[in-house]
Amino acid sequence: MTKYPTDIPQRVIALRSIFVDQPAWLQLEEQFHRLLENRRAEIATNVVRETRGIALIGASGSGKSTAIARLLRTSPKLVLANTESHRCDVISLTVPSPATLKSLGRAIAEALGRPLKHEKTADTTWELVRAFLKERRVLFLHLDEAQDISRHQTPKEMQAIVNTLKSLMQHKEWPVGLLLSGMPGLRDLLNHDPQLSRRVYPVELPRLSPVGDTEAVKEMIRFYADEANLDCAENRDYSDLAARLIHAADREFGLAIEMTIDSVEEALRAGCTQIDNGHFTAAFARRSGCIPGLNPFIAEDFERINVRKLLDRGEEE
C-alpha cells in the first residue's frame, strides 16, 4: 500500500476552505446586507413594510451552494437555526421534490423545529408556518433548489405556491424576505408572476468564457498551486491549460476551482513539486472514468467532448 505524506488531506481541506471572490458574489453580498440592514431598522422602529427577496441563479457547478453558505456564515450578527437561540434570523432548507404547496409548508415547519405530526390541509399548514416564522423572529427564508417549485406543476398549482410565497413577504404583522437559490429554471418561477419578479432582485452566476476568462483562470491555477507550495513557473504560459480547464468544467466557475484542487491533490500525492497538465489529466480521468481519447486535457479536439458524461467510452448511443 502506498503511503502518502500525512499532511496532504489537511492541505487539500485548507484549499477547499478558501473562497475566491467573483463579481456576482460581491453583488449578492451587497444586496443581502442592504436588505438585512433595512429589515433590522424597520423592526427597531416598529415599522412594518413588505419585504423583498434575492434569487441566486446558476447552473450545477457554478458555486451557488458555496456562495450561500459563505453569505450566511459571514453576515454580521446573523443568528442561524443551528444555534441555541430561539430567535432565528434565517431558516435554510432544500425544496422538497416533488414540491407541492403542502409538502413545502411541512418542510419549512420542520426546518423551524416545529414538525407537523398530523396530516393537515395546505391552508392550515401555511397558517401554522406563518405563526412559526413570527414566533422565531425569522427575517429571511432561504429555499435551495427553488427551481423545483415550478417543475411538474400545473399553472394553477404553481400560482398557488407563488401566491403563498408573496404572502410571506406581505404579511401584515411579520413579513419575511426570500432568499432563493437554484438552477436557471428558477427564472421560470420568477417570470411566472410579475408581482413576484418585481419583489426579487436577481443575481446570476455567469458561465466562464473561453475567450474572456482565460487570464483569470490562469491566475486561479497559479493561486492554488502557490497555496499548496507547488511551483508554478512565472514564465510558463498556461493559456492552453486554462482553455481546457474551462471546457472540462463545462464553463462553471465553481467546478473549475474544484477540478484545480483535485489536480493539486494529484500533484501532492505524486510527490511532485510543480503542477502540470498531467495532473489535470489524471484528476479528470479519476472523476469521470473516461478513456484517454475523451479526456479534454489531452484530446486534440477537446471542445467536442461532452464533459458531463461519466464513464465515456466514445460509444454511439
Q: What is the DSSP string of 146-193?
A: GGGGGTT--HHHHHHHHHHHHHHHT-SS---EEEEEE-TTHHHHHHH-
Cα pseudo-dihedral 215, 221, 226, 231, rounded to 10:
-100
Residues of the chain with pLDDT > 90, as a percent, come to 76
Quick one: average pLDDT of 278-299?
A: 94
Query: Are 294 and 217 part of one and the same domain?
Result: yes
Domain-located, residue 13? no
Query: Are 195 and 87 part of one and the same domain?
Result: yes
Domain-located, residue 95? yes
pLDDT at 49: 95
- Report the 3 state secondary structure along 78-98: CCECCCCCCCCCEEEEECCCC
Query: Are 123 and 262 part of one and the same domain?
Result: no
Q: What mean pLDDT, rounded, does the chain reach?
A: 91
Query: Are 262 and 134 part of one and the same domain?
Result: no
Query: Are 200 and 264 part of one and the same domain?
Result: no
Query: Are 184 and 43 part of one and the same domain?
Result: yes
Residue 112 has pLDDT above 90, yes or no: yes
pLDDT at 128: 96
What pLDDT digit, counting tens, does each position of 184-201 carry?
999 988 988 999 999 999
What pLDDT digit, counting tens, does each position of 223-246 carry?
999 999 998 765 577 899 999 999
Domain-located, residue 139? yes
Domain-located, residue 167? yes
Domain-located, residue 61? yes
pLDDT at 6: 60
pLDDT at 152: 77
Residue 223 cell numbers, joined:
493561486
What pLDDT digit, counting tens, does each position of 127-164 carry?
999 999 999 999 999 999 999 988 878 888 889 999 99
Residue 311 has pLDDT above 70, yes or no: no
pLDDT at 155: 84
Query: Are 273 and 173 part of one and the same domain?
Result: no
Query: Are 37 and 152 part of one and the same domain?
Result: yes
> Which residue type does 57 have?
I
| In the block, residue with C-alpha cell 430567535 | 87
pLDDT at 295: 95
Is this model's pTM higher than 0.85 or not?
yes
What pLDDT digit, counting tens, does each position of 29-60 carry?
999 999 999 999 999 999 999 999 999 999 99
- Domain of residue 213: give its range: 208-304
